[in-house]
Structure 1
Amino acid sequence: MKAQPLLPAPLKRRRGPRVAVLALVLCSLLLPFAFLFHRGPSSSSGGYVMTTEERHRQEVVLPPFHHVEVGNRGGGPPPAAATGKRQDALEKKVPKGGAGVIRHQALEKKIPKRSAGAVHQHKQQIDSHSTSGAAKPKVLPPPKVAPSKAVTGRTRDRDTREMSKATKVQQKGAKADEVETAKACQLEFGSYCLWSMEHKEVMKDARVKRLKDQLFVARSYYPSIAKLEGQETLTQEMKQNIQDHERVLSVSTVDADLPSFISKRMEQMQRTIARAKSCTVDCKNVDRKLRQILDMTEDEAHFHMKQSAFLYNLGAQTLPKSHHCLSMRLTLEYFKSSSLDSDDSPGKFNSPKYRHYVILSRNVLAASVVINSTVHSSKEPGSLAFHILTDAQNFYAMKHWFAGSSYKSAAIHVINYEAFILENLPKYSIQQLYLPEEFRVLIRSIKQPTDNTRMEYLSVFSHSHFLIPEIFKYLNKVVLLDDDVVVQRDLSFLWNIDMGDKVNGAVEFCGLKLGQMRNVLGKTAYDPESCAWTSGVNLINLDKWRDHNVTENYLLLMKKFKFKDEQSLRAAAFPLSLLSFQHLIYPLDEKLTMAGLGYDYGIDEVVAQRSASLHYNGNMKPWLELGIPDYKKYWKRFLVRGNRFMDECNVNS
């Protein structure tokens, strides 16, 4: 009873420790929740959504561009080793129900899907992370028995086979990733992406790279350090170091450009970063700033990639300076010469006894290679007559070049297309010369859009082709050659083909049918099962052309399409060509023309040598620096050498 009054006093003395203990327990309960909120939201359906995305970015490493086996033209193995070498053109087919997307002189913007190999790799990584911390049951090891030599040998062979099989599976997954990355690259940036892969250089300037890394880290820490009280000196020092790094990197791209004092600047920056890391900052802010800088860097890289692709296409569609010089020098020499007209008698070019070829070109060297290759491959070159349709700017250069060059006994007639239409056919509105139009076509299957997706360049007739029957009224059959074609076999057999009631003898492209291009062809009636066809080498029956009124039908179809500008007018050549010759195409043998030498790196050399002609359709023309070096040899073989103007203009094609 006497001890009871003493109890209240200890309670009062222990009230403070009790509060501290309760606060500690409360903090220990709230700490896991804070940690979970910091890591990101969790749900039973999606797991750690944000964390999973972060893991994708950090752990799934896509192969670099220079490893993608689609676009290697220089040293190393051919880039098409991952997808197999190109087979004949007939083998390029897709299942029914495929979809075709056509773009003319434009970049197609598609978001690439994650490849199956990358998803499998990411799944394995997630599984390894999830099982690494789990408790595993203990398994007693089996009793050790000394194996015999035969058993040991069989076991070793089995292990070797399993290891080799696993290695092959891993390599197959890596190649699938490379092919998928190459597809996405080509879909968005076209042939430039393949060319940039082949010409990509490994960065060897380690100090410049180190400067960029330091600048990247310093920028991510700077906003958080600037908010801390008592760190004004560190904030000012970090700001000064960032400005110094930016100033150096603005004028230096390689280690050789760096100033002599850069080592001290790098050491100062490293010490500043170390001090910043020692400060207590909010990790969320640093992480947010890192992601912001990363997104800005990715956007900047994508912008420069698009800009480079635009400049690449501009260079591919523009005549090189040396070729322009050659054309100007030939034009000047033409007017300085005594004989301004050296054409043969017009009767030779209207006689049906000759085999007539028609070429539309503005490039002197390109037209020369086409004619030279055709003449050298012909068994009877004296029976050949070539008609070159060109514009007014290159007309006199063409006349002087072919008047001074010898192509055995073949007759060559150069025609000023624009002047001819203005004088003889003024009723037609298409008075400007248009060369064959090329369209980049994405062909994919609806059932398996990822596996069966490929890119093709399809060449068709331009608006100027539909006036050829009016220009050559006295001819009944001609062969149209694009100026990016090299002939390797005698083409005289084309004149022995009986096309019946057909008009245009062309190589069909059944990987793309009219039914797959509803959005391009409009509401005009057409056969959905009719195949597309390509230009390059085309046998034209002019008599049947006139009987079927192809030109008139083309003009009627042309009125249904609305043209806003020059680009839309040229883009209309695709549907107009396919619709005008519907049911009038005579399919020629696919081995007649090997197409794709202007964009496809995987063409088999044996297949190319066996083809009767080679078509450099695509952006990488053989007379450009952008051309594929492995295929340039077929074109250079028929290039006329020894012309003094070529040497003076530094034409190195």
Structure 2
Amino acid sequence: MQDSMVKKLKDQLFVARAYFPSIAKIPAQSKLSGELKQNIQEVERVLSESTTDADLPPEIQKKSRRMEAVIARAKSVSLDCNNVDKKLRQIFDLTEDEANFHMKQSAFLYQLAVQTMPKSLHCLSMRLTVEYFRDHLFDKELSEKYSDPTLQHYVIFSNNVIASSVVINSTVVHARDTVNQVFHVLTDWQNYYAMKHWFLRNTFRDAVVQVLNIEDSDSYGKATLSHLTLPVEFRVSFPSNDSAPAIHNRTQYVSIFSHSHYLLPEIFKNLEKVVVLDDDVVVQQDLSALWSLNMGGKVTGAIEICSVKMDQLQSYLGEHSFQKHSCSWMSGLNVIDLARWRDLDISETYWKLVKEVSMKEGSALLATSLSFQDQIYALDRVWVLSGLGHDYGFDIEGIKKAAVLHYNGNMKPWLDLGIPKYKEYWKKFLNHEDQYLSECNVNR
């Protein structure tokens, strides 16, 4: 058993504490009481400095045997069992309260780690911003490719320089032809200059990269937001079957479009089709086949998640009319027919719905689901493997076969909390020799 000695010491301490008050009340057992107290203090000191067996001092076996011997002597003394039982229950209640406290503290720290930008990424963003204004690279001429509807346009919403770079690099590396590839990174004011500098000093074969500030009201007219919003993830838990206990619940993270996605038709007025990639994906195969996809008049092609039916999202969707057994769908990899989107005025429908249900929990999921009802073309599931940000159960062969890996969930690959065995598929698209990555200790 892992850390078995630490667990054994904790059990011994638990029992010794239960007997000590009763032994201490017996004058004839003052020597035993003193030994019991000394052993308790020694084990407490050891456990205050050690959380695993590897941390324990070399003489710990002797300490454990001494504690075991003194407990055996305490058990041989004639005592009032009610007193010992009362003390055991008191210690148990205190231990349970302490465990609950630490569980809540752990959950808080986990959420804090998930939601806070790592120090290394903050360092990188600051360095790039400073270098942008120090350099004179930013006066480059705009490319005509940015608005050419005959090319393959990829859109990424991101406030993370490294994440968006990995998406672009992995897409380009696996593309048969990159001369027709145009990437548009939509970010916010805070990260705009860092993004600009990064993509000016890094090239991706023949592909071009445009960085746009979605909060720039002078550039896009009404197509602006007060702040960038990224794809929204909903954590959904439900039993594997009707008789399964709660501990066996399955968990899925359903990722959907954010408010920012509904500005696409306005920002890219000259384009008729784009592929949107979330910044937590890694591309492992050529995506060019997506551009010849016939979606039969549907607005967007997406991966359907049939393990999560619409009726399992009832708490978010309320009483609105949905086909209960239809599958939910995911952002991550989405083919979007902008011309069809404009014809159906999807954005206007969405904003009206958001206004109507703004006070309801899960309003974004409800508004998106209603706006795209009957407008989803189901992509073949071989395109995307989702769940690498929360599910430990994927086998290596399944990962290698997927065209796109989606790290949806809290454990993103750029976080220390990321699932270690999946990180290598993300990290291999970083340039570890880059000066700024080295200086800021990014994913070393």
Interval of TM-score (by shorter of Structure 1 and Structure 2): 0.7 to 0.9
CA distance in 1, matches of 2:102, 2:325: 42
1:315-464 matches, within 5 Å, as 315-342=113-140, 344-345=142-143, 347-420=144-217, 424-425=220-221, 430-444=225-239, 447-450=242-245, 453-464=249-260
Q: What is the CA-CA distance between 1:230 and the residue it aligns to?
A: 4.9
With over 3 angstroms needed to count, the CA separation of the structure-2 counterparts of 1:212 and 1:607, relative to structure 1, is closer
Question: 1:599 — aligned with what?
Answer: 390
- Give the drift of 1:457: 2.0
Shift of 1:526: 2.8
Pairs aligned (count): 441
2:233, 2:253 within 8 Å by CA — same for their partners in 1? yes
TM-fit CA distance, 1:214: 4.3
**Aligned-pair CA distance for 1:590:** 0.7
Q: Residues 252 and 258 of structure 1 are in contact (CA less than 8 Å); yes or no, is this contact kept in structure 2?
A: no
Give distance in 2, aligned partners of 1:426 and 1:436.
21
In structure 2, the CA distance between the partners of 1:310 and 1:408, relative to structure 1 (3 Å rule), is same
Deviation of the 1:361 alpha carbon = 0.9
> Shift of residue 357 of structure 1?
0.6
The superposition leaves residues 269-324 of structure 1 with CA deviations (integer Å, 9 ceiling, x where unpaired) of 67764554343322233234324323432443343244224323322332221121
RMSD, aligned CA = 3.2
* 1:582 corresponding residue in structure 2: 373
When structure 1 is superposed on structure 2, of 475-484 and 283-292 the one drifting more is 283-292
Structure index of larger Rg: 1
Offset at residue 626 of structure 1 (A): 2.7
Q: Equivalent of 2:328, from 532, 536, 547?
A: 532
Alignment of 1:159-170 (within 5 A): none
> Structure 1 pair 229/330, CA: closer, same or farther in 2 (3 Å)?
closer
Distance 2:403 2:44 in 1: 59
Residue 281 of structure 2 aligns with an amino acid whose one-letter code is V
Once the two structures are TM-superposed, the CA of residue 325 in structure 1 deviates from its matched residue by: 1.1
Using the aligned pairs only, state the percent identity: 49
Whole-Å separation in 2 of the counterparts to 1:338 and 1:282: 85
Conserved in 2, the CA contact under 8 Å of 1:237 and 1:272? no
Offset at residue 652 of structure 1 (A): 2.9
Residue 420 of structure 2: aligned partner: 629
Does the 8 Å CA contact 1:215/1:245 hold for their aligned counterparts?
A: no
Contact 1:234 1:272 in 2 (8 A): no
| Contact 1:484–1:621 (Cα < 8 Å) also in 2 | yes
Residue type at the aligned position of 1:203? D
Change (3 A) 1:232 1:481: same
Residue in 2 aligned with 1:122?
none
Structure 2 counterparts to residues 98-117 of structure 1, below 5 A: none
Separation (CA, whole Å) in 1 of partners of 2:240 and 2:432: 47
User: Using the alignment, how far apart are the partners of 2:46 and 2:229 within structure 1?
Assistant: 47
CA contact (8 A) 1:222 1:238 kept: no
Query: Is the contact made by 1:359 and 1:483 (CA closer than 8 Å) also made in structure 2?
Result: yes
How far apart are 1:363 and its partner, in Å? 1.4
Residue in structure 1 matched with residue 282 of structure 2 by the alignment: 486
**Could you tell me which amino acid in structure 1 is paired with residue 49 of structure 2?**
S
TM-score, structure 1 as length reference: 0.61
For residues 580-631 of structure 1, give each alpha carbon's deviation from its aligned partner in whole angstroms, at most 9, with x where no partner exists: 2111111111111111222222223223222221112122222233323332
Residues 440-467 of structure 1 show CA distances to partners (whole Å, capped at 9, x for unaligned) of 2223366443598422222111121122
More contact order relative to length (CA 8 Å, sep ≥ 6): 1
Partner of 2:80: 282
Matched, 1:547 2:343: yes
Amino acid at match of 1:332: V
Would the alpha carbon gap of residues 250 and 529 (structure 1) be closer, same or farther in structure 2, given more than 3 Å must change?
closer
Q: TM-score, normalised by structure 2?
A: 0.87
Shift of 1:493: 1.6
